[in-house]
Structure 1
């Protein structure tokens, strides 16, 4: 029991690495649906089913379950939002320092075949899997590296789109509106990669990191946002900033925006900026995983947080986080009496709660220029709304027919709309077509699926969703 917040907390175990995600033909033949992998997700689904069936015996409410996790746990939480098999098993979600990540089945299968062939080259696929079951699991784990090595987030083994547990990639599922729509809290920390980055960073190392991660045409902008500096301290600040914003701040915004645009349930974004009060740790800022000490109120039990090392600022943060998190778990809204107001997230204003000794809920636009920059680096196109329910004064619903369509679409445009552009995006946010000043478009040459239409004219935006059929 989380007695301080009057909630029941359940922690679960699930298979990791190759044991959790191996896709291989020898395993496919054993499966009723001809697919393999995603065993870790099966474990998570089984745990949620167990909670549904048994939590009442522990004083819990099976109709009010919140799934939450940090880092890999946050990835799992985000992925469960997109799984049809998780529908109804949870009612709220908290993603801390993560976003959903799912790979293609083909890539996972190729990886699995190569991995098994490192152990056994001869025999049928079934015989190879039989041999793998005789290998000690330690022989698998010793081949794995830290997922945060050098500050570069990398996960060797991932869930895969198998057509059963996962039907598509997360953003496509969010854009379609066909996901587990629940109140969502999502956020990250201000110096996520400070513990994983090199202790000493020199200016040339910032240059090298920019050259590695940014295309030539955008490097000048990268240097303006993240100066190489003239000292090791200045260089390290930019180095950590690149790793943090490129991998956490920006990706968090993408998920918050996409979910908020495509569901009626509220989204709440946070940014954790509290620093440890002892000098030895303060230099690392708000590092990856640090907020967990405060969510669970156990920094005061840590070696470097005990006794006189535990300051009033630490206590203020842990008390606030406990109340925000448990309020959200109970009601879907983190706010409560005596707490700084946490604004609901909208993609149009990007407002959030800054979590520190005195939380600040009056800020909007979290590292906007830097997040916009990282979107440009990968050519990211923001989600559009499939439901049109988020309140945005400059964004209006578009009517068109027929929908679904096998080809031509006719637009019902406002009479005062004269000079405008039309953009068609697929479910991955990739631009497929563009038009100017027409009330008809033709999707005959496009594959069947869901497409998003956006019309832009003099600061006004009209959006809608099209279903393309044969």
Structure 2
């Protein structure tokens, strides 16, 4: 039974799709009050008719003594929570943002936002987990109003702890929970959010028995973590991973120094602790810090960590802006994810066996290359690829590997139904700047099509000339996504679109392009990809080794394969 929702008039205002904000609007006239387990929340109506509640706490603030501990229930409140704006981001490096200082957001951030159709009553629920390398991003960057109202689904977007706050695997922290020794606090946050949805979403018009989790990039990786996590059992019923990637690491990579016999990454727990000890004046250099660390017991280490300021915890990122992609996030810890690895776990059936929709983009890597001066020259007319053949080759080898590992390999091992796709849209303008080539179907490009809001940083690609085609493609994609949320089978999207078959019916993917939506075979294997990479004369030996090294580092550095290719680790 739905909680009381008064449908009195609410002041409507335009929101900027993507990183949307309601604060610039005139003061809303409240009229959408819902009772939750913690107390009443008051929402508002969006300009397209969708209902919205923002910054609703799903767990207590993970600050002070609660830092690096599992999330606890949100405190009860008697006062009505005016939920008119999306929640602020979780603490992350701001990279010199003059308005926020070195830190964007705060550690007190475990909130979610709800977008519901005006007539929601038992609607499917879609819980979005944002991307950002698991060290950046925020739920507020995604506007679910169009998807909710267009497809009749309740869209929930959640924040979760990021960077070293959400993922820290040192034994000093893991050992505090002998019953569940994990450093994957972000995954525990997501589980807490899903528990909140199960307990409360009916009041917002949602069906707790039809919950779909979906996410992109690091969010897609986290979808896989939830699929594999035994503690998440029963909290969701379908899963969609968009460009997810399986950057799962071993515990050694997550904990050890980078020069250990079993090397850790540059962002391992030991490397962060060494940096913190140096910054605190406890050691003069890395070697001294690691030596000191070896003499400290777990209790002393944990106390030292919890005494650090938010800025101090994030400080290592300022010196190494690319550190995020070495962050040990979803780690094979034997608690959240089996130490045997995802292939064995999926093949055994020892996971949350729900229908899955998995996909990637044709040009994943171009999202980074298009802004990299190593590959692009920024002329007066605009960016131009320095060497088109090299540019295309690097994108091809990274992007094909991404799709093979994040989609094909998962689909080959899973025992539950899998629907696979590839997003190929590249109808961006090719003059005065050739964005169709430079960007193409880059990482993240499918998000505006799924949400139906063509903004969020991609605006130069969306022109009047491609509007009709992209809007048609967007409606098709959101229809498939919503039909999957309704039934667990995207079928024909409920709209007479091409029938989407499961992976095991022919190892085929649904291809989403401007001119056509159709199933196509996916023949590439890892061995084929390696052979093609090592034989590609468009690249130097150094470039081939760089790509091979990056593509084979998870869940542990593949020293044997690198040696066979005469590549250094």
TM range (shorter): 0.5 to 0.7
User: Once the two structures are superposed, what CA deviation does each residue of 1:338-393 show, in whole Å capped at 9, x if it has no partner?
Assistant: 443243233473211110234332422x3x24655136799xxxxxxxxxxxxxxx
Distance in 2 (CA, whole Å) between partners of 1:250 and 1:87 is 24
Counterpart in the other structure of 2:40? none
Question: How far has the Cα of 1:158 moved from its partner?
Answer: 1.6
Which secondary structure state, in structure 2, belongs to the residue aligned with residue 174 of structure 1?
helix
CA contact (8 A) 1:64 1:330 kept: yes
Distance in 2 (CA, whole Å) between partners of 1:352 and 1:153 is 31
Counterpart in the other structure of 1:360? 517
Please show how residues 229-308 of structure 1 align to structure 2 within 5 Å: 232-259=387-414, 262-263=415-416, 266-279=417-430, 280=433, 281-283=435-437, 284-299=439-454, 303-304=459-460, 308=464
Structure 2 stretches lacking a partner, 5+ long: 1-115, 117-147, 257-267, 278-288, 377-385, 534-554, 556-569
Provide closer, same or farther for how the CA distance between residues 332 and 345 of structure 1 changes in structure 2, counting only shifts above 3 A.
Answer: same
Which secondary structure state, in structure 1, belongs to the residue aligned with residue 209 of structure 2?
coil
Which secondary structure state, in structure 1, belongs to the residue aligned with residue 518 of structure 2?
strand
- More deviation in 309-318 or 81-90? 309-318
**Aligned-pair RMSD on alpha carbons?**
3.1
Distance in 1 (CA, whole Å) between partners of 2:319 and 2:406 is 21
User: Once the two structures are superposed, what CA deviation does each residue of 1:123-163 show, in whole Å capped at 9, x if it has no partner?
Assistant: 433222212222222333342389996xx993422223333
Counterpart in the other structure of 1:454? none
Distance in 2 (CA, whole Å) between partners of 1:192 and 1:318 is 19
Question: How far has the Cα of 1:35 moved from its partner?
Answer: 1.9
Which secondary structure state, in structure 1, belongs to the residue aligned with residue 316 of structure 2?
coil
Counterpart in the other structure of 1:135? 308
Aligned residues: 344
Distance in 2 (CA, whole Å) between partners of 1:50 and 1:163 is 25
> Could you tell me the TM-score, scaled by structure 2's length?
0.55
Please show how residues 27-426 of structure 1 align to structure 2 within 5 Å: 27-33=173-179, 35-110=181-256, 111-120=268-277, 121=289, 122=292, 123-144=296-317, 154-168=325-339, 169-197=341-369, 198=372, 201=375, 232-259=387-414, 262-263=415-416, 266-279=417-430, 280=433, 281-283=435-437, 284-299=439-454, 303-304=459-460, 308=464, 311-334=467-490, 335-347=492-504, 349-364=506-521, 366=522, 368-369=523-524, 372-374=527-529
User: Once the two structures are superposed, what CA deviation does each residue of 1:14-35 show, in whole Å capped at 9, x if it has no partner?
Assistant: 1111111112232234224272
Question: How far has the Cα of 1:270 moved from its partner?
Answer: 0.7
Provide closer, same or farther for how the CA distance between residues 91 and 146 of structure 1 changes in structure 2, counting only shifts above 3 A.
Answer: farther
CA contact (8 A) 1:79 1:170 kept: no
Distance in 1 (CA, whole Å) between partners of 2:188 and 2:210 is 21
Distance in 2 (CA, whole Å) between partners of 1:146 and 1:317 is 42
Provide closer, same or farther for how the CA distance between residues 370 and 35 of structure 1 changes in structure 2, counting only shifts above 3 A.
Answer: closer
Distance in 2 (CA, whole Å) between partners of 1:336 and 1:147 is 44
CA contact (8 A) 2:366 2:440 kept: yes
Question: How far has the Cα of 1:172 moved from its partner?
Answer: 1.3
CA contact (8 A) 2:226 2:232 kept: yes
Provide closer, same or farther for how the CA distance between residues 125 and 117 of structure 1 changes in structure 2, counting only shifts above 3 A.
Answer: farther
> Could you tell me the TM-score, scaled by structure 1's length?
0.66
Which of 161, 164, 171 pairs up with 1:25? 171
Question: How far has the Cα of 1:10 moved from its partner?
Answer: 0.6
User: Once the two structures are superposed, what CA deviation does each residue of 1:286-329 show, in whole Å capped at 9, x if it has no partner?
Assistant: 00000001111111686436773662111111111111111111
Distance in 1 (CA, whole Å) between partners of 2:243 and 2:531 is 21
Distance in 2 (CA, whole Å) between partners of 1:27 and 1:155 is 20
